[in-house]
Structure formats: C-alpha cells, structure tokens
Amino acid sequence: MHNKIEVAVFGGGCFWCTEAIFAELKGVIKVTPGYAGGRTDKPTYQQVCGGNTGHVEVARIEYDPELISYNDLLEVFFYTHDPTTPNRQGNDHGEQYHSTIFYTDDAQKELAEKFIDKLNTSKEFGAPIVTTLRPLTQFYEAEDYHQGYYENNAAQPYCRAIIAPKLDKLRAKFKDTVK
C-alpha cells in the first residue's frame, strides 16, 4: 500500500523510451505517455508530430517518494537522454522532443533548478543543459497504442535499436534502483 503518491512529468525525447526507462524503477507505480505544454486541446499523435501544437512528448510518472526520491528520478532522467541539444534526441527531431521538466510544485522546480545548476557547473555533459522547466498545466494521455509500447513491441526494430540499449545503460548504472 502506498501512503503518498507523487507525480513527476518529464519530456526526454520519444515517450516510448521515457516510459520504458521509468517503468523499470523501484518505487515507480505507473508511467503514462502523453503530451504537455502546448496550445492544442486534446492533441493527437499526428498533430504533435506535425510540430505546430507546442506539445512535448512526456511521461507522467506516479511514484512513492518513500521508495524513490524526485532527485533520483532527475538523475535517471538526465542520464538517459541528451539534455544539451534542443528539439532533438538521436534521430528524433522537432519541438515535441525538447528536453523538458514539467514541475508540479515549487519544491520540484527548486530541486530541478539545483540539479541543472550542478550539471552545468560540473560540465558533466560538455555543453550547457538546454532542458526547460515549465509548470505542468495540463497533461493529455497518449493514444492507447502508445501505452506500454516497449513492453508490447520489444521485438520491433526501433525498440531493439533505440530503447533496449537505453535500458541496458540504465540497468548497468542504477543496479540498486531498477526492479
């Protein structure tokens, strides 16, 4: 039984990848791919891919803060995508792939700002962090066929070539944090 469930929302490229990564973590209860931050009400995948909605592909992560902290989630988020290139993750490009943290309260905003400052100061990525921080005002759940995409399509070429290596990297670095 979970005493308190909190929500984190991250846009780190394709939401299939982001969902698969965060679904692996102890303390994460549910991950839902969707869209946030744009101008279009109830956007579709096709609209978001068109690049004119302002929406970012995101993962809405429900987690138990007694089992995993927001800071732990931030560490995984930054480690599993490129936060230095605007509107691009690998071969995926467009505003919907911009590295974005949608904070749900001032505490999340402050933790994210401190984390980004630490990364920029350490020059860990060799380039400035371009991740934007925005308040979460609305989240739209992605269409059903996007839910559990990696779990349901692990043999697909995109999943094998892009998502599986990210999961291997996650499991190697965060051994104690994965399920």
Q: What is the CATH number of the domain that holds 61?
A: 3.30.1060.10
Domain residues for 77? 6-173
Domains in the chain, number: 1
Is 128's pLDDT higher than 80? yes
Interval 18-35: pLDDT, tens: 999 999 999 999 999 999
Report yes or no on 1 lying in a domain. Answer: no
Report yes or no on 41 lying in a domain. Answer: yes
Higher pLDDT, residue 129 or 94: 129
**83-118 as b/e: b if 16+ CB within 10 A:** bebeebbeebeebbbbbbbbbbeeebbebbeebbee
Check if 14 is active-site: yes
- Computed over every residue of the chain, the mean pLDDT equals 95
Q: Of 14, 17, 49, 159, which is the active-site residue? A: 14
Mean pLDDT across 95-101: 95
Report yes or no on 110 lying in a domain. Answer: yes
Is 38's pLDDT higher than 60? yes
Report the predicted TM-score, pTM, of the whole model to 2 decimal places. Answer: 0.95
Interval 6-19: pLDDT, tens: 999 999 999 999 99
